[in-house]
A = this chain, B = another copy of it.
Amino acid sequence: MVRTTAQRQNDTLTLLQAEEDLWIATANGNGTVHLIPLSFSWTGTKLVLATPERSRTVRNLRIADSVRVAIGPTRDVVIVEGRVEISAQDADAQLADFHAQIVGFDAREMDEPWVFISVIPERIQAWRNPAELADREIYGDGSWLR
């Protein structure tokens, strides 16, 4: 079955609300790649993650802010590429409260400094099978494709 773009957009929004974790890939400037699962919250306009400031993910993002995240199982894939904003754990109380409520832990209550990583989507792709690869792009240039 090949879903329409509208169906994929609906399914993607459902997935963004329902899923608890995502895979985040980052790289340093030398081609060395990192890949790790992190919990996330979806605010309706961006994906929010929290992780230690000294983590490889944050160090990579400070060098090269390219990020690619994957949500869902390998046969119901949502891929998000976007702009990254890193903010201190106490910079935005509303964001921190919202995130804590969704993920079930408070990033401000850790032993070491944590930061929030916001991923603002620039491109979203969604596919479940090879037949869906052709029209996988469902969001681009800041808006849902029609």
Contacts and interface: CB of A to CB of B under 8 A. Distances in A.
Interface of A: 20-23, 25-37, 60, 63-64, 66-70, 73-75, 77, 79
B25 A28 contact: no
Nearest to A65: B31
Nearest to A125: B36
Given A31-B63, A31-B64, A70 B23 contact: yes
Contacts of A63: 31
A82 to B, nearest CB: 12
B28 A31 contact: yes
A78 to B, nearest CB: 11
A13 to B, nearest CB: 20
A23 B21 contact: no
A34 B25 contact: yes
26 contacts: A20-B74, A21-B75, A23-B23, A23-B35, A25-B27, A25-B34, A25-B35, A25-B68, A26-B33, A27-B32, A27-B33, A27-B66, A30-B64, A31-B60, A31-B63, A31-B66, A32-B64, A32-B66, A33-B64, A33-B66, A34-B68, A35-B35, A35-B69, A37-B74, A37-B75, A37-B77
A106 to B, nearest CB: 14
Contacts of A25: 25, 27, 33-35, 68
